């Protein structure tokens, strides 16, 4: 049993960190202040080929696995870009998996390369205001018409919709009351975000200001049949194939963010002198930081275990959810401890840890809450009755 990275994986991580060093903390602080999407960062990652790291080579991808994608996203967050940097490219890295796995050859050629090279920006439109995590209760309807579908409905917490020109949309093609199982009758589409038919309304929020979150109001959106991914009614099954990779990548980003906060706190503790000694000599500073390091490293091992299982084609639901839970909690604790280490300066924007702390709440909350993960683990691992 070998827990170390391969030489190629270490080289990948180092290359990503070097690339991201072109966009220092100050760049991300400005994006946090002005709320502008980091177009130049997104463009640079696309031009360098990083957006397709886990996509098949025959559509312009790198042909690597979710393990390498996780290492890349960890490095992106760790570079100081945090969740803003990671979220700006998160979608292309994993959201095109349904097309890669279930799309026709024509769809793969048409849809994937423009996303990987940065020509198209995508949003992932699944969540709805009244459905929450109960995806089978989605009410956005795609009604079949000659040659395609007419779509009406609402979506919420849709990232990047302010700048996206394409969207991955999950909608109900058969009413819930007409299907045998709740998971049936949902269909997946990858199509144009037609702003004449989709009102995009931004949600003011606590952090990650550079990457927008939105409400979508869809009225009479036309989707041609050739934009449906997989068979009609199979959308829920198709989406499930992307849930574990999403949790793995988000967990890796949380670890990277925690590492960035920990590094900044340790540097401050070495340099800050109070009572004629660096505060890092005090165990009241040392122990919380050391504890955060241990928690981050342990979480990272679970994340990489989940990623390696996924890449080996094995079931990784338990590990992916456990990794997401552990990484999100460890990342939050590291950011909070970093802020406490800096004392009053931790509250100042120029030291960046207050931005890290705000952004650490994202992986802790999305796309599934820690409480729902614990429900899942209690049922699947401990054999307890299902509670939801």
pLDDT in tens, 26-77: 999 999 999 999 999 999 999 999 999 999 999 999 999 999 999 999 999 9
**Residue in 103, 350, 340 with CA at minimum distance from that of residue 228:** 103
The DSSP code for 52 is G
Which tens digits make up the pLDDT trace of 169-190? Answer: 999 999 999 999 999 999 999 9
CA distance 245 to 116: 17
Among 4-8, 26-30, 89-93, 201-205, which is the least confidently predicted range? 89-93
- Helix (H) or strand (E) run with residue 213 in it: strand 213-224
- Domain map (residue ranges) of the chain: 7-116, 122-231, 237-380
- CATH (residue range 7-116): 1.10.540.10
CATH topology match: 7-116 vs 122-231: no
Q: Which tens digits make up the pLDDT trace of 191-230? A: 999 999 999 999 999 999 999 999 999 999 999 999 999 9
| pLDDT surpasses 80 at 278 | yes
- Could you tell me where the DSSP H helices lie in 272-352? 283-311, 317-342
Q: Span 116-137, mean pLDDT?
A: 93
Query: How confident is the model over 309-327, as a mean pLDDT?
Result: 97
Identify whether 367 is preceded by a cis peptide bond (ω within 30 of 0).
yes
State the pLDDT at residue 3. Answer: 85
**Could you name the CATH architecture of 237-380?**
Up-down Bundle (1.20)
Residue 241 pLDDT grade (very low, low, confident, very high; cuts 50, 70, 90) = confident
Per-residue pLDDT tens for 340-372?
999 999 999 999 999 999 999 999 999 999 999
Residue 2 pLDDT more than 90? no
Give me the percent of the chain exceeding a pLDDT of 70.
100
More confident residue, 150 or 243: 150
The predicted model gives 13-26 an average pLDDT of 98
Strands (E), 122-165: 122-125, 141-145, 148-159
Say whether 121 sits in a helix, a strand or coil. coil
Mean pLDDT of 301-318: 96
Fold of 122-231: Butyryl-CoA Dehydrogenase, subunit A; domain 2 (2.40.110)
Ramachandran angles phi, psi of 187, nearest 5°: -125, 150
Q: Among 330, 328, 322, 331, which residue's Cα sits nearest to residue 378?
A: 322
């Amino acid at each position: 049993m070998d827990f170390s990275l391969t030489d190629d994986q270490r080289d990948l991580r180092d290359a990503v960190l070097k690339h991201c060093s072109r966009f220092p903390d100050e760049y991300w602080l400005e994006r946090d202040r002005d709320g502008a999407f980091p177009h130049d960062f997104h463009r640079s990652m696309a031009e360098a080929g990083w957006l397709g790291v886990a996509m098949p080579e025959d559509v312009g991808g790198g042909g690597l696995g979710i393990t390498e994608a996780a290492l890349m996203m960890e490095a992106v967050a760790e570079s100081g870009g945090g969740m803003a940097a990671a979220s700006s490219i998160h979608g292309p890295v994993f959201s095109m998996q349904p097309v890669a796995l279930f799309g026709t050859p024509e769809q793969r050629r048409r849809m994937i390369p423009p996303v990987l090279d940065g020509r198209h920006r995508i949003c992932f439109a699944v969540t709805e205001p009244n459905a929450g995590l109960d995806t089978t209760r989605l009410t956005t309807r795609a009604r079949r018409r000659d040659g395609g579908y007419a779509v009406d409905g609402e979506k919420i917490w849709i990232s990047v919709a302010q700048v996206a020109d394409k969207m991955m949309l999950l909608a109900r093609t058969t009413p819930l009351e007409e299907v045998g199982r709740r998971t049936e009758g949902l269909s997946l589409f990858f199509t144009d975000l037609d702003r004449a038919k989709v009102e995009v309304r931004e949600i003011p929020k606590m952090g990650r200001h550079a990457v927008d979150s939105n409400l979508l109001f869809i009225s009479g959106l036309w989707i041609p049949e050739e934009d449906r991914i997989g068979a009609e009614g199979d959308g829920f099954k198709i989406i499930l194939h992307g849930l574990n990779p999403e949790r793995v990548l988000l967990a890796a980003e949380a670890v990277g963010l925690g590492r960035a906060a920990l590094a900044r706190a340790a540097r401050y503790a070495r340099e800050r002198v109070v009572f004629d000694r660096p505060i890092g000599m005090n165990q009241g500073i040392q122990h919380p930081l050391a504890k955060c390091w241990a928690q981050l490293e342990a979480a990272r091992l679970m994340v990489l275990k989940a990623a390696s299982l996924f890449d080996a084609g094995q079931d990784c639901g338990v590990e992916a959810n456990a990794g997401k839970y552990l990484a999100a909690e460890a990342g939050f604790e590291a950011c909070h401890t970093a802020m406490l280490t800096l004392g009053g300066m931790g509250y100042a924007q120029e030291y960046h840890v207050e931005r890290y702390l705000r952004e650490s709440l994202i992986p802790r909350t999305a796309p599934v809450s820690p409480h729902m993960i614990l429900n899942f683990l209690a049922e699947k691992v401990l054999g307890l009755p299902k509670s939801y």
